[in-house]
């Protein structure tokens, strides 16, 4: 902790901002990299109280869906009784982050990225005081 800032969280948000700023493809692809990487283990309680609600909004927004398209999980569940289906086809089951990022519009992804930047900026300011 430095001036009330969890240095682990600051490091992870710094990495996230770097990826969002320099990574290839559109913002949704970069967000997938961020949430499978630096922000994977970040919990709201890693952040100062005044940033927790914003991070909770980000997490709700990034895990809104659990399937790439409506009905995907029903189709997969119908095949689960086939021998070894779940073991050999587990890659067909998206994570909530993957499913959400495939369904949201770029504008929503940009808002999520903006809030990640704002959290990082606030952590940076707090740590330098």
Q: What is the pLDDT of residue 116?
A: 98
Residues 36 and 6 in one domain: yes
Q: For residues 99 and 65, is the Cβ–Cβ distance under 8 A?
A: yes
From residue 119, how far is each of 41, 60, 69, 91 by CA, in Å? 16, 16, 31, 32
Range of the domain at 95: 65-103
β partners of residue 2: 5
Instruction: Please check whether residues 32 and 69 belong to one and the same domain.
Output: no
Give the end-to-end CA distance of the chain in Å, rounded to a whole number. Answer: 12
Q: What angle do CA 9, 41, 116 make, to 5 degrees?
A: 50
pTM to 2 decimal places: 0.88
Q: Are residues 112 and 73 in the same domain?
A: no
The answer to whether the beta carbons of residues 120 and 52 sit under 8 Å apart is no
Q: Mean pLDDT for each consecutive 10-residue tract of the chain (129 residues)?
A: 77 97 95 97 94 97 94 90 88 94 94 98 89
57/71 same-domain check: no
pLDDT of residue 82: 87
Q: Supply the pLDDT for residue 3.
A: 58
Distance of CA 107 to CAs 14, 49, 113, Å?
Answer: 22, 27, 10
Number of domains composing the chain? 2
DSSP codes, 81-124: TSTTHHHHSGGGS--HHHHHHHHS-HHHHHHHHHHHHHHHHHHH
């Amino acid at each position: 902790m430095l001036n009330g800032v969890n240095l682990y969280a600051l490091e992870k948000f710094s990495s996230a901002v770097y990826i969002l700023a320099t990574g290839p493809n559109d913002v949704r692809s970069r967000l997938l990299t961020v949430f499978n990487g630096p922000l994977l283990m970040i919990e709201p309680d890693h952040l100062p109280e005044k940033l927790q609600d914003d991070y909770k909004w980000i997490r709700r927004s990034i895990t809104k869906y659990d399937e790439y398209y409506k009905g995907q999980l029903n189709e997969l569940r119908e095949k689960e009784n086939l021998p070894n289906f779940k073991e050999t086809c587990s890659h067909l089951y998206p994570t909530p982050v993957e499913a959400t990022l495939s369904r949201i519009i770029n504008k929503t992804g940009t808002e999520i990225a903006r809030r990640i930047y704002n959290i990082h900026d606030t952590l940076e300011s707090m740590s330098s005081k």
